[in-house]
Structure 1
Amino acid sequence: TRNDAILELAKLDFSILQALYCEELRTLTLWWKELQLQDHLSFARDRMVEMHFWMLGVLFEPQYSYGRIVLTKFFTFISIFDDIYDSYSTLEESRLLTMAMERWDEQAAEHLPGYMKFFYSKVLTTMKVIAKDLDSQGNKHADYVKKLVS
């Protein structure tokens, strides 16, 4: 015996969640294209959709939409860091990037190679926007954003 009303509600809920997840992916895709990282970091893997799918496993409830978006951005950057450190940069370039991340300011980019300067500036800009958004939402932990990345 099945209850058709419950089945109909489940289908509606599925459609609503699917629309929400598609809207999140649209937002993230626009952010990703705006970064233009593929133009400057051709060696980096484009794993943004995969990261969003992973975040759906972490924060699946609809009210955590902003958290999914932010975590997807974090882990997309972490994936690119992984590509830089493991596949592309020299040991000296890796050390320079690590020191820049520890300093966390625009002046630290002066010693980085061109492709790293571009990436580093995008990371700083994105994290500042996220911290500002969290602060405007009244989140008391907005100052921890840079600690999550560095």
Structure 2
Amino acid sequence: MAVAAHGVASGHLPGSAGLVLLVVIGVAAGALAHRLSSMVAFVALLTGAQLAGHTVLSLTADPMAHAHSSTTSAMATTHLVAIPVCALLIAGSGRLYSVITSVIRTLRFLVAGPITDLTRFVVTTAPQRRPLVGVLAPGGVGLRGPPAA
């Protein structure tokens, strides 16, 4: 069974704890990526996320299956090549997404006309109306009713 499960880090698929931690790292990196404005910061974020992910996979792997078939320098070289390539691919896909959505918005405008902005609306309140008794009989202490029993 362990021979057929070749995968990440130690050559075996991570357990549930490792998968949960990888998801947390991925979500945190994705949330932070939206706040970055430079490619250098983005590459630094990817580097940190890869190091954290690799550390999590190494720590949560089965100790008996932790023998790496590749050397550390080969793995480091692979990561150093993968980080800028992935950063360029992610940045390029983000730019491609913005171009595609702007084309779709333009085509939609040409076909259907201007799109109403539903996020901006004005709430008008009706004027406050005074009770008819207050208009006809101004003053006094209020409305009288039957005495309390």
Query: How does the TM-score come out when normalised to structure 2?
Result: 0.29
Which one has the bigger helix percentage? 1
Where relative contact order (Cα < 8 A, 6+ residues apart) is larger, the structure is 2
Larger radius of gyration: 2
TM-score when normalising by structure 1: 0.29
